[in-house]
Amino acid sequence: MGVIINHRCRIKNDISVRTNLKAIEDLGDVPVLGNIPYSGSLTPKIRRNFSEVAGKISAFNLQ
């Protein structure tokens, strides 16, 4: 089991952005499988993020 972070709006780059993923992993005792940033459209970068997350989910399910 793991967590995928999906941002539904733009966020400011502050300390929470840099520390929340690690905190979720540590406190929740689960891996963060992916971090999908907000985008108004499906850009090539967002597509790559989805592909990376899908690969991690597939690999995780094989364990």
Domain assignment of residue 9, given as a range:
3-62
Q: Tens of pLDDT along the chain (63 residues)?
A: 788 887 777 778 788 878 888 999 999 999 988 887 777 777 788 778 778 877 777 766 555
List, as one string, the DSSP characters of 18-53: HHHHHHHHHHHTS-EEEEE---SS--HHHHHHHHHH
Q: Is 60 helix (H, G, I), strand (E, B) or coil?
A: helix
Mapped onto helix, strand or coil, the DSSP state of residue 10 is coil
Distance between CA atoms of residues 34 and 60, nearest Å: 12
Quote the CA–CA distance of 41 and 57 in Å, as a whole number.
23
Considering its fold, how many domains does the chain have in total? Answer: 1
Global pTM value: 0.59
